[in-house]
Amino acid sequence: MAPFYDVALAVATRAARRRSLIALADQAPREVLLLGVGTGLDLPYLPAQHRYVGLDLTAAMLRRARPRTAGLNFSALRGDAQRLPFADGSFDVAVLHLILAVVPEPALCLAEAARVLRPGGCLLVFDKFLRRGEGGWKRWLNPLTRHIATRLDVVFEDVHAGVAGLTLVSNQPALASGWFRLIRLRKSSTEAAR
């Protein structure tokens, strides 16, 4: 997928990525985790003051991301978004752009992102999600697409309900009549002691 990823997604998702990542502007330096960093399509929109770790399952994606890291304090790491190799409370922000509908277990991915966040930390989510009860062609195509590139059957509200300690801050339509959404979550301050 790496050779075709940018062609398929760069232009279509540019504005939504910018809208999501604006949350990082005008903040004191933070530790930011980019889960499923892919080819680095988010990197041009990241402010330089933060320290970034970009994690992806495939070396080919990370190789394509590296040229986009100029001017950023960025470390690339190969790893599984469902089993993060970080201690609890390692990051202030986790960016989950187009990852929850790709991993086999989206609730596990979201739970892992929450685990590695500090109390009060923020999750920035951009992805495609069905609404509860929605069916049609997306569910019909899902058995095929989930093995090629992405799932079409993920319902964000179900994923979120399976992860304790995350408060929904905002949920806005981004693309394709609201199929793609920009979501912001905050980790509870009391969740850190678990």
Q: Region 9-29: what's the mean pLDDT?
A: 88
pLDDT in the model for residue 154: 80
Q: Domains of the chain (ranges plus CATH)?
A: 2-187 (3.40.50.150)
Q: Region 38-57: what's the mean pLDDT?
A: 96
Task: Classify the C-alpha dihedral 56-59-64-66 as positive or negative.
Answer: positive
Q: Assign 193 a pLDDT band (cuts: 50, 70, 90).
A: very low
Pair 93, 32: CB distance under 8 Å: yes
Percent of the chain with pLDDT over 70: 79
d(CA 119, CA 144): 39
Reference 91, options 71, 104, 77, 105; nearest CA is 77
Q: 17 CB contacts (<8 Å, ≥6 apart)?
A: 41, 42, 45, 97, 126
Q: Is residue 136 scored above 80 in pLDDT? A: no
pLDDT in the model for residue 36: 93
Q: Is residue 150 scored above 90 in pLDDT? A: no
Per-residue pLDDT of 48-73, as tens digits, reads 999 999 999 999 999 999 999 999 99
Pair 156, 178: CB distance under 8 Å: no
What is the pTM for the complete model shown? 0.85
